[in-house]
């Protein structure tokens, strides 16, 4: 059997251009991380396309460090301080997250802001096809259960009342990602412009607020080493207060993506043969957990999410141009920007 933990979530040597000042980090952790002692070793994770991510090893203890990339950055992007805030708050709930230790906003230490949390041991699946087929029904149910738990959190009670604005989520998000797209391209993309106009003209009337993860997909989860159980959600950079159905529908995008896209597109595949629940079954399970009779405007939410993901990819395309992209996968991700906008327009036409 393939060691999926090693193959898909392993850390290795720090890549050129992403080195950390080991001595400065050692001193910082001695002064700010409770229980830290001894010398440390630094490795870099395969992921961390937006915020470079490292494994810090000291004796038998392992930590994770996430930091902003160096160089010119888009306004409000790479918000490691927001990641730290929401993860720390969710430690008080039944949403699985890592324990946090310290947030550093002093750029003189490592050259950019960073935070430190526990390294949760387990499996990370970079695509659906990398999961064990026998566990897929339970894996999908675990993903469904955890996102429902997140959306049921009383954000005011856990200290996140100021984590984002309440209401008008779609109009604000359309404005935000439209600006990122426009700031990241030298020439406009016709299908993206068409999608932006359609989304602006068809915003649903229902307006709800919950904590939203913003990038809820299987490769942002750590699963138990052997069981189909989620131990920790990762990569909270895009989290905020927002519309829960936007967040949930984002997790269903893979049903509409062709094979090879993202975390493994399922469009056109025989779901029963590969032991994956249908989109309808997945939606019904969420509705049951949330006490909903159904979901109106489903195609709008899907179109919105393809637009949003396209906007993110256009942003990565801009960072490639500016020399601040932080992962070898950035080139492939940037190339998906326009195809994602096209899928978004397909969803808009279905609506």
> What is the rounded CA–CA span in Å between residue 228 and residue 193?
41
All domains of the chain, ordered by start, with CATH?
4-118 (3.30.200.20), 128-350 (3.90.1200.10)
Question: What does the pLDDT read at residue 316?
Answer: 87
pTM exceeding the 0.75 threshold for the entire prediction: yes
Question: What does the pLDDT read at residue 144?
Answer: 98
CB atoms under 10 Å from CB of 214, counted, come to 20
Integer angstrom CA distances of residue 338 from 104, 187, 311, 342, 343: 36, 12, 9, 6, 9
Question: What does the pLDDT read at residue 327?
Answer: 64
Query: What number of residues does the chain have?
Result: 351
Angle at the Cα of 42 (from 65 to 76), degrees rounded to 5?
30
CB 33 within 8 A of CB 22: no
3-state per-residue secondary structure call for the chain: CCCHHHHHHCEECCCCCCCCCHHHHHHHHHHHCCCCCCCCEEEEECCCCCCCEEEEEECCEEEEEEECCCCCCCCCCCCHHHHHHHHHHHCCCCCCCCCEEEEECCHHHHCCCEEEEECCCCECCCCHHHCCHHHHHHHHHHHHHHHHHHHHCCCCCCCCCCCCCCCCHHHHHHHHHHHHHHHHCCCCCHHHHHHHHHHHHCCCCCCCCEEECCCCCHHHEEECCCCCCEEEECCCCCCEEECHHHHHHHCCHHHHCCCCCCCCCCCCCCCCCCCCCCHHHHHHHHHHHHCCCCCCCHHHHHHHHHHHHHHHHHHHHHHHHHCCCCCCCHHHHHHCHHHHHHHHHHHHHHC
> What is the rounded CA–CA span in Å between residue 50 and residue 211?
21
pLDDT tens, residue order, the chain (351 aa): 233 333 345 789 999 989 999 999 999 999 999 999 889 999 998 765 578 999 999 988 999 999 988 655 545 556 899 999 999 999 999 999 999 999 999 999 999 999 999 999 999 998 888 999 999 999 999 999 999 999 999 999 999 999 999 999 999 999 999 999 999 888 899 999 999 999 999 999 988 999 999 999 999 999 999 999 999 999 898 899 999 999 999 999 999 998 877 667 899 999 999 999 999 999 999 999 999 999 999 999 999 999 999 998 898 888 887 776 656 677 777 888 999 999 999 999 998
> What is the rounded CA–CA span in Å between residue 181 and residue 66?
25
Question: What does the pLDDT read at residue 258?
Answer: 84
């Amino acid at each position: 059997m393939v060691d999926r933990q090693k193959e898909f979530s392993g850390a290795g040597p720090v890549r050129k251009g992403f080195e950390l000042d080991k001595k400065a980090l050692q001193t910082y952790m001695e002064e700010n991380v409770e229980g830290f002692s001894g010398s440390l070793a630094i490795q870099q994770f395969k992921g961390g396309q937006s915020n470079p991510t490292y494994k810090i090893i000291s004796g038998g203890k392992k930590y994770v460090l996430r930091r902003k990339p160096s160089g010119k950055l888009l306004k409000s992007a790479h918000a490691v301080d927001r990641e730290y805030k929401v993860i720390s708050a969710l430690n008080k709930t039944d949403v699985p997250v890592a324990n946090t230790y310290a947030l550093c906003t002093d750029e003189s230490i490592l050259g950019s802001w960073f935070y430190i949390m526990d390294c949760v041991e387990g499996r990370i699946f970079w695509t659906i096809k990398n999961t064990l087929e026998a566990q897929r029904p339970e894996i999908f149910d675990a993903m469904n259960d955890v996102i429902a738990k997140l959306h049921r959190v009383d954000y005011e009670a856990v200290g996140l009342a100021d984590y984002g604005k309440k209401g008008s989520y779609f109009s604000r998000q359309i404005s935000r990602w439209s600006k990122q797209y426009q700031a990241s391209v030298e020439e406009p993309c016709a299908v993206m412009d068409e999608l932006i106009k359609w989304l602006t003209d068809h915003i649903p009337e229902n307006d709800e607020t919950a904590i939203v993860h913003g990038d809820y997909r299987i490769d942002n989860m750590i699963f138990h080493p052997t069981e189909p159980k989620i131990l920790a959600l990762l990569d909270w950079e895009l989290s905020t207060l927002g519309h829960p159905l936007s967040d949930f529908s984002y997790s269903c995008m893979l049903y509409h993506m062709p094979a090879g896209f993202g975390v493994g597109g399922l469009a056109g595949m025989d779901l029963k043969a590969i032991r994956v629940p249908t989109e309808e079954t997945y939606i019904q399970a969420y509705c049951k957990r949330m006490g909903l009779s159904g979901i109106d405007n489903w195609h709008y939410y899907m179109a919105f999410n393809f637009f949003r993901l396209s906007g993110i990819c256009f942003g990565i395309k801009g960072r490639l141009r500016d020399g601040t992209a932080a992962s070898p996968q950035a080139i492939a991700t940037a190339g998906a920007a326009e195809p994602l906008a096209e899928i978004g327009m397909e969803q808009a036409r279905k609506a």
